[in-house]
């Protein structure tokens, strides 16, 4: 997760801030010292480790060890810290136990995504190696013409202002009864993508692509297949702002993508 986060930060021209939340109830063992002294000692040791990790990643940034409040959840502590450092995105990993288990048991990742007001870059359980610094970074933004998908473009746009990356605006056309025909629907989708492209900071680095979903293929599988074919290093898409349990009930495409993706998924909570 850290390697993928560093690759994205490098491509977006952003500093990277690594945090590790300290929970006094779990991470502190009291001895003869006061609790404040022990917390300060543990925090100092963790910060030293985080600075070593940041140095190994080779990106500019900072570290911090926020202390969780007595009535604060872990994902709330992450949100609080993100606000304090004015983070433009949050990056985190999803445990390898599988998203189905997360949906049943709840997860920190889903808690963060469910209430985040900035994009959340998530590396799923099947994440592969991060791209090398020398590679051209490609971000694929899924767009279906809906208000939700336009919100993804709006949320990602601030991250592209200082970026040195290629962006793919991607529409996966799914034939439906009552359509005006594949050719007309694809042309309409392409015109919509071109309008979005012109509003982005550097349209010359943005490509608009529309492809048709085969009859036998699920949408999440189609998105992942095309991301691989187009050489994307990350996928940006919308997700419900609900709990992990409701994600499963709703059958979110984003969850299906994240569950299988070898590359990070930049999730934007639907308004």
Domain assignment present for 261: yes
- Average pLDDT estimate for 191-206: 95
Q: Could you tell me the strand order of the sheet in which 90-93 lies? A: 90-93, 120-123, 265-269, 234-239, 138-142, 166-173, 206-212
- Average pLDDT estimate for 137-144: 94
Cα–Cα distance, 168 to 24 (Å, whole number): 44
Q: Rounded to 5 degrees, what are φ and ψ at 231? A: 70, 30
Number of domains in the chain: 1
100 versus 216: which is more confidently predicted? 216
Query: How confident is the model over 67-110, as pLDDT tens digits?
Result: 999 889 998 999 999 999 999 999 998 764 444 444 433 477 77
Could you tell me the residue range of the domain that residue 148 belongs to? 138-269
165 versus 179: which is more confidently predicted? 165
Indicate the pLDDT class of residue 255, thresholds 50, 70 and 90: confident
pLDDT at 149: 82
Greatest mean pLDDT among 66-80, 93-107, 222-236, 255-269 lies in: 222-236
Residue 28 CA neighbour count, 13 Å, CB half: 22
pLDDT at 214: 94
pLDDT at 32: 59
3-state secondary structure of 230: coil
In CATH, what number is assigned to the domain containing residue 219? 3.40.50.620
Domain assignment present for 49: no
The pTM for the full model equals 0.90
Domain assignment present for 118: no
* Alpha helix segments (H runs only) across 172-265: 182-198, 219-229, 244-250, 253-260
Torsion of CA 48, 53, 55, 56, to 10 degrees: 140
pLDDT at 100: 47
- Average pLDDT estimate for 220-241: 92
3-state secondary structure of 64: strand
Residue 189 near residue 212 (C-beta atoms within 8 A): no
- Average pLDDT estimate for 38-61: 95
Distances from the Cα of 245 to the Cα of 113, 117, 166, angstroms: 13, 20, 35
Residue 195 near residue 174 (C-beta atoms within 8 A): no
Cα–Cα distance, 135 to 131 (Å, whole number): 6
Q: Find, among 238, 239, 208, 213, the residue nearest to 226 by Cα.
A: 213
116 versus 163: which is more confidently predicted? 163
Q: How much is the mean pLDDT over the chain?
A: 87
Q: Find, among 215, 220, 212, the residue nearest to 253 by Cα.
A: 220
Domain assignment present for 5: no
- Average pLDDT estimate for 144-155: 86
180 versus 60: which is more confidently predicted? 60
- Average pLDDT estimate for 53-60: 95
Domain assignment present for 234: yes
Percentage of residues in the chain with pLDDT exceeding 90?
64
Over 50: is that where the pLDDT of 244 sits? no
């Amino acid at each position: 997760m850290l390697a993928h986060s560093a690759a994205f930060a490098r491509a977006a021209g952003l500093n990277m801030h690594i945090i590790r939340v300290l929970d006094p109830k779990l991470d502190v063992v009291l001895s003869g010292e006061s609790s404040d002294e022990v917390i300060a000692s543990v925090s100092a040791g963790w910060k030293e480790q985080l600075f070593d990790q940041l140095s190994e990643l080779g990106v500019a940034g900072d570290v911090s060890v926020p202390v969780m409040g007595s009535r604060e959840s872990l994902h709330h502590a992450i949100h609080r810290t993100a606000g304090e450092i004015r983070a433009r995105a949050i990056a985190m990993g999803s445990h390898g136990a599988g998203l189905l288990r997360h949906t049943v048991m709840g997860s920190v990742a889903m808690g963060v995504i469910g209430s985040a007001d900035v994009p959340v870059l998530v590396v799923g359980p099947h994440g592969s190696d991060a791209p090398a610094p020398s590679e051209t970074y490609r971000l694929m933004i899924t767009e279906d013409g809906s208000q939700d998908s336009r919100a993804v473009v709006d949320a990602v746009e601030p991250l592209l202002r200082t970026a040195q990356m290629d962006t793919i605006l991607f529409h996966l056309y799914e034939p439906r009864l009552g359509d005006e025909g594949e050719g007309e629907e694809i042309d309409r989708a392409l015109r919509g993508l071109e309008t979005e492209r012109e509003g982005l900071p550097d349209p010359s680095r943005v490509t608009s692509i529309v492809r048709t979903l085969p009859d036998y293929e699920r949408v999440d599988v189609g998105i992942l297949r095309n991301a691989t074919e187009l050489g994307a290093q990350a996928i940006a898409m919308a997700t419900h702002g609900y709990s992990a349990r409701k994600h499963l009930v709703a059958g979110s495409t984003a969850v299906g993508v994240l569950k299988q993706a070898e590359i990070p998924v930049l999730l934007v909570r639907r308004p």
